[in-house]
Structure 1
Amino acid sequence: MKTYILPLAFLVLATLGQGCVSSKKYKELQASYTDLQQKSKDLNGKYQSSQQELSGSSSRVKSLEEQIASEKANVASLQEALNKCLNSTSQGNVNISKLVDEINASNKYIQHLVNTKNKSDSLNMVLTNNLTRSLSREEMRDVDVQVLKGVVYISLSDNMLYKSGSYEISATAGATLSKIAKIIKDYKDYDVLIEGNTDNVPINMVNIRNNWDLSALRASSVVQALQTTYSVDPKRLTAGGRGEYNPVAANDSDAGKMKNRRTQIIITPKLDQFMDLIGKAPDTKPD
């Protein structure tokens, strides 16, 4: 911008050099000179401002270029992943088909298990009805019958079976035992376990050391009654005592102790007969 000022200065000097000029003319030239200086100053300011804006624009352009390069790299990565996905589509279809087959096989096996359970529940109901059909309402108060997985559990209270504080069978127990013995003999191929149980109160009787002895003696009394009085084959019978160590209720109340003082008659069907009733499991299972 200074190049515009220099010719003007030379012009002024040349004019002055040619001779004296009027005061008016001099003032005009002086004003022009001052005006040109101000314009030069303004142009320099604009030039500096333009330079700063250019520098900022260059920085923004560089930043945008870096972003563009990063996005191009992302696009390339996504394209590579898409190509791999497309290349594996056929293999994916094979895997999906195999998975569907496995799900169908699993569903068939689950349905088989449901059907098996339904048959098992039906068998349990039949066994329970057969065992309780001849028991009176009074007798059922002292007899609890449960069928779990084809095994029959008949729980008899000690009040109904034995004389007070004894392992001898009471006279009132005969009617109930005779009905249970008839059912046992109807299912002649079933094994029978007689299991004695007590509460946790220590026994205080002559010739009985502890609750182990009492529970075993009570079970033995029932076994001998079934054999000698009701003609159950002794080869099918087993007597066992579990003392106080198989409780069904807490021993901290009279009601709980009464539940624990019991004798269980456990009737177990032969495995092959039981499987015939509920149906065999499938030969193959889903992998």
Structure 2
Amino acid sequence: MKKIALTLTVLALMTSCVSKKKYTDLEAKNKETQDLLNTATVKLNSCLEEKAGLAATAATLKEQNQGLISVSKDMTVLSTKGAENIEKALESIKEKDLKISRMQDALTKKDSVTLALITSLKSSVGISDPDIEINVEKGVVFISIADKLLFKSGSYDVTDQAKGVLAKVAKVVNDKPDFECMVEGHTDNVPYNGTGVLLDNWDLSVKRSTAIIRVLTNQLGVKPEQLIAAGRSSYIPLVANDTPENKSRNRRTRIVVLPKIDQFYEMIEKEMKKQKQ
């Protein structure tokens, strides 16, 4: 028993001595290990948080990228449509410019015809009488003849003197078989007080027009289909009907010459049709 007790005492002393020496080292190592573990844990948590943040950022960027791709596609479509619209607008402008150019050419041609007609009328009629005027208004040629050269006061019977003047007008009209001429009768504002079939200045102005037309067609060879009868009474005066001289000016017969008007309209219609093709 004493031997066993001694042995145990020795072992206990040996054990106590070994643990005490290594305890401090083990404790230091344990603390170091714990510190490393704590540091690793902190870093791991930081990495996990960073990973989660990066994942969220990646998801946001992915969503934004998809949005940009969609916007890019829309912009491409819009850009394409915009280019097409611009091209169509330019084509439309070109067509309008061409149309304007053609219309201007047509108007120039009409003006040329009108100018040629005026020259022809003046040279053919060859009258310098102040009671006969040849002019152009709004592209139409007018020959205005004072009624004192054509009729007696209040009458619609054409005088012999008038036939000489109308013969020269008829020559011009006959030389231009495509022209139309409207013969307009005009009176002053003095009410008609004659007897017979006439009721007023309307009747008088129309009867003077038809009387001129009968001379042109029956005696001077003008084709009836070229002539138009019209009466304007006193409602288109040249000047105020306030003096005898002014009233005399307003009493007139006006021959309106329409130079190839149908051909001009036909030319315009052709240009319009070209624009639609």
User: Which of 181, 184, 190 does residue 170 from structure 2 map onto?
Assistant: 181
- State the Cα distance separating 1:157 from its structure 2 match: 1.7
Partner SS, residue 133 of structure 1: helix
The one-letter code matched in structure 2 to 1:220 is T
Q: Structure 1: 5+ residue runs without aligned partners?
A: 1-79
The answer (yes or no) to whether the contact 2:187–2:233 under 8 Å persists in 1 is yes
Quick check: 1:120 aligned with 2:110?
Answer: yes
Normalization by structure 1: what TM-score? Answer: 0.60
The residue number in structure 1 matching 2:187 is 198
Change (3 A) 1:92 1:145: same
The answer (yes or no) to whether the contact 2:124–2:172 under 8 Å persists in 1 is no
The answer (yes or no) to whether the contact 2:209–2:253 under 8 Å persists in 1 is yes
Partner SS, residue 139 of structure 1: coil
Pairing of 1:81-100 with structure 2 (within 5 A)? 86-87=75-76, 88-100=78-90
Aligned length in residues: 207
The residue number in structure 2 matching 1:172 is 161
The answer (yes or no) to whether the contact 1:144–1:155 under 8 Å persists in 2 is yes
- State the Cα distance separating 1:202 from its structure 2 match: 0.7
CA shift digits 1:196-228 (9 cap, x unpaired): 111222122232321012112211221122123
The answer (yes or no) to whether the contact 1:196–1:215 under 8 Å persists in 2 is yes
The residue number in structure 2 matching 1:23 is none
The answer (yes or no) to whether the contact 2:206–2:231 under 8 Å persists in 1 is yes
- State the Cα distance separating 1:100 from its structure 2 match: 1.4
Pairing of 1:1-287 with structure 2 (within 5 A)? 86-87=75-76, 88-136=78-126, 138-139=128-129, 141-146=131-136, 148-149=138-139, 151-207=140-196, 208-252=198-242, 256-268=246-258, 273-274=263-264, 280-285=270-275
- State the Cα distance separating 1:140 from its structure 2 match: 5.5
Distance across 2 between alignment mates of 1:255 and 1:93 = 70
- State the Cα distance separating 1:118 from its structure 2 match: 0.8
- State the Cα distance separating 1:128 from its structure 2 match: 1.4
The answer (yes or no) to whether the contact 1:116–1:279 under 8 Å persists in 2 is no
Distance across 1 between alignment mates of 2:269 and 2:96 = 18
RMSD in angstroms over aligned alpha carbons? 3.4
Partner SS, residue 283 of structure 1: helix
Change (3 A) 1:201 1:92: same
Change (3 A) 1:255 1:89: farther
- State the Cα distance separating 1:86 from its structure 2 match: 4.7
Normalization by structure 2: what TM-score? Answer: 0.62
Change (3 A) 1:90 1:191: closer
Change (3 A) 1:276 1:209: closer
CA shift digits 1:4-28 (9 cap, x unpaired): xxxxxxxxxxxxxxxxxxxxxxxxx
Deviates more, 1:237-246 or 1:219-228: 237-246
Distance across 1 between alignment mates of 2:255 and 2:272 = 33
Partner SS, residue 220 of structure 2: coil
- State the Cα distance separating 1:235 from its structure 2 match: 4.4
Change (3 A) 1:263 1:161: same
Identity of aligned residues (%): 34
CA shift digits 1:45-80 (9 cap, x unpaired): xxxxxxxxxxxxxxxxxxxxxxxxxxxxxxxxxxx9
The one-letter code matched in structure 2 to 1:182 is K
Change (3 A) 1:277 1:153: farther
The answer (yes or no) to whether the contact 1:123–1:278 under 8 Å persists in 2 is no
Q: Structure 2: 5+ residue runs without aligned partners?
A: 1-67
Change (3 A) 1:145 1:102: same
The one-letter code matched in structure 2 to 1:155 is S
The answer (yes or no) to whether the contact 2:122–2:134 under 8 Å persists in 1 is no
Distance across 2 between alignment mates of 1:235 and 1:117 = 26
The one-letter code matched in structure 2 to 1:219 is S
